[in-house]
Amino acid sequence: MSFQFREFYLKDDNCAMKVSTDAILLGSWVALPSTDAPLRCLDLGTGSGILALMLAQRQAQQLRPFMIDALELEHTAYQDAQENVADSVWAEHIHVYQTDVRQWQGGPYQLLISNPPYFNQSLRASHSARAVARQGQNENIEAWLDIAQAWLEPTGRYNLMLPRALITDAKIMQWRQLGWYLTRHCQVRSQPNKSPYLSLLELARQPVEACEQTELEIFARGESRAYSAAFKKLTADFYLAGREWDKALSESQ
């Protein structure tokens, strides 16, 4: 399929893991470092390149220099990402590499982002390319944290999303024992009367006084399946309808 966003065009015809609302949420939610220095970002498992392109759009809007390395193991997804980046206005700022993330030698980076290949018994993929995208049955988030720590600057941040059911007090304590601290956590519901299904996470290598806890509902209450005001505000810079959302939100204030 193909998608026209406000400032870039994206196709994911050859990607096992398709563009999702969840990915758009993560790319919109990430807090960009507040620094005047050139920003270096790493996208782990870029797929179609959507997260790298979203970060590029946001960085360009802030009028400061940046560089994004995007890694993808699966060949056809890598081809899609290459084409999507080449067709964007930020091609000189994004470099796409076909490689296993465990063999990457780049860095250090101020910002890491990924939709990690969490593997759950109920989510096992039968399609071989999708299985590569999920990265394998033996991988877990702790293995990814171990990999990520080699690339992140001491004050950097790692942003990722995981199923909400995986985020427990025991899991957060386990991360602390590995030297990772949860600094931001957004629990995402599809609609108000549903339980959270997704967690947007920001992790740091240095302790913080408190984790910023928020919640987000994608759809407003009711049967119309209309996006919630919070969802529109967060993602308006990317959806084509975002200009209308911006106008409506400003008029309602």
Report the pLDDT value the prediction gives residue 201, as an integer from 0 to 100: 98
Q: Using an 8 Å Cβ cutoff, are 133 and 125 in contact?
A: yes
Helix (H) or strand (E) run with residue 199 in it: strand 198-204
Judge whether 217 lies within some domain.
Answer: yes
N-terminal to C-terminal alpha carbon distance within the chain? 36
Judge whether 35 lies within some domain.
Answer: yes
The one-letter amino acid code at 188 reads V
Q: Using an 8 Å Cβ cutoff, are 145 and 118 in contact?
A: no
Report the pLDDT value the prediction gives residue 249, as an integer from 0 to 100: 63
Full domain range(s) for residue 83: 2-226
In CATH, what number is assigned to the domain containing residue 175?
3.40.50.150
Judge whether 233 lies within some domain.
Answer: no
For the chain, how many structural domains are there in total?
Answer: 1
Judge whether 128 lies within some domain.
Answer: yes
- CB atoms inside a 10 Å sphere around CB 7: 16
Judge whether 246 lies within some domain.
Answer: no
Report the pLDDT value the prediction gives residue 223, as an integer from 0 to 100: 65
pLDDT per residue over 136-193, tens digit each?
333 578 888 888 888 999 999 999 999 999 999 999 999 999 999 999 999 999 999 8
Judge whether 234 lies within some domain.
Answer: no
Pick the range with the lowest mean pLDDT from 54-58, 96-100, 133-137, 212-216.
Answer: 133-137
Q: Which residue has 């560089």 as its token pair? A: 67
6: nearest Cα among 248, 249, 239: 239
Q: What percent of the chain has pLDDT over 90?
A: 66
HSE-CB at 235 with a 13 A cutoff on CA atoms is: 23
pLDDT per residue over 95-150, tens digit each?
999 998 888 988 899 999 998 754 333 333 434 444 444 443 335 788 888 888 88
Q: Nearest 5 degrees, angle CA 213-CA 218-CA 224?
A: 150
Q: What is the pTM of this model?
A: 0.88
Q: Using an 8 Å Cβ cutoff, are 199 and 165 in contact?
A: no
Q: Using an 8 Å Cβ cutoff, are 11 and 80 in contact?
A: yes
Name the token pair of 80.
Answer: 């899609």
Rounded distance between C-alpha atoms, residue 45 and residue 42, angstroms: 9
Report the pLDDT value the prediction gives residue 138, as an integer from 0 to 100: 36
| Rg of the chain in Å (alpha carbons) | 18
